[in-house]
């Protein structure tokens, strides 16, 4: 079990933090209205609110758990309830496995809904600036290059990879464009639910 200040994922990226900063005020608004969204709805809402922000427009629902993990660490450090419990899986109607394996979503939502969010700032900028100095920059690559790297790695390693990895294609491409190695991207994709 991970502690509330620990990431469920390895290698938090600047992209994770940038998208967390966009999702955080949306989550505060959800908490104030005692409402939940699916992962896809969260990404769609962010895209609608920030049509000119490229990092938001490239976001995909399958990797949202990584970004929510950053929000969870942020709220825990400020002794706030865990807002990430407000994002649920469309199929199950509950938080993703990454959350439910470590936390009780029902109790977490009770804490979120009973908390007075009216005086909480939705500012995430200071956290981004701090994180930019802590995170080691990665070499970003373009999508065509990421697709080539993914195909090459898959071709060389398909015998040892689960067949379900093909369903994580977009997630792998996103991680590769963010500068993860092929080994890291495939590893995270095979462990993500």
pLDDT for residue 100 is more than 60: yes
The whole-number average pLDDT for the span 92-116 is 91
Between residues 137 and 85, the one the model is more confident about:
85
The sign one gets for the Cα dihedral 131, 176, 92, 33 is positive
**pTM of the predicted model as reported, rounded to 2 decimal places:** 0.66
Report the pLDDT value the prediction gives residue 132, as an integer from 0 to 100. 53
- CA dist 92 and 179 (Å) reads 32
Q: What is the pLDDT of residues 3-34, one digit of tens each?
A: 444 444 456 777 888 899 999 999 999 999 99
Ramachandran sector of residue 79 (left: φ over 0; alpha: ψ -120 to 50; beta: rest): left
Q: Give CA angle at 9 (4, 10), nearest 5°.
A: 120
Report the pLDDT value the prediction gives residue 53, as an integer from 0 to 100. 93
What confidence category does residue 128 fall into, taking pLDDT thresholds of 50, 70 and 90? low
- CA dist 35 and 154 (Å) reads 40
Report the pLDDT value the prediction gives residue 138, as an integer from 0 to 100. 64
Q: What is the pLDDT of residues 36-77, one digit of tens each?
A: 999 999 999 999 999 999 999 999 888 898 899 889 988 888
């Amino acid at each position: 079990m991970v502690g509330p200040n620990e990431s469920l994922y390895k290698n938090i990226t600047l992209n994770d933090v940038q998208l967390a900063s966009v999702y955080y005020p949306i989550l505060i608004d959800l908490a104030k209205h005692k409402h939940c969204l699916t992962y896809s709805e969260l990404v769609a809402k962010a895209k609608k609110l920030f049509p000119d922000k490229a990092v938001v427009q490239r976001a995909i629902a399958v990797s949202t758990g990584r970004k929510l993990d950053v929000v969870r660490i942020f709220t825990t450090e400020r002794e706030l309830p865990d807002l990430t419990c407000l994002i649920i899986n469309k199929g199950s109607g509950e938080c993703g496995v990454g959350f439910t394996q470590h936390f009780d979503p029902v109790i977490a939502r009770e804490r979120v809904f009973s908390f007075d969010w009216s005086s909480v700032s939705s500012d995430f900028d200071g956290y981004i600036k701090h994180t930019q100095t802590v995170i080691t920059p990665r070499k970003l690559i373009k999508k065509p290059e990421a697709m080539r790297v993914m195909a090459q790695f898959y071709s060389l390693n398909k015998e040892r990879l689960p067949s379900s990895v093909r369903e994580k294609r977009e997630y792998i491409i996103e991680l590769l464009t963010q500068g993860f190695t092929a080994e890291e991207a495939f590893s995270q994709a095979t462990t993500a639910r």
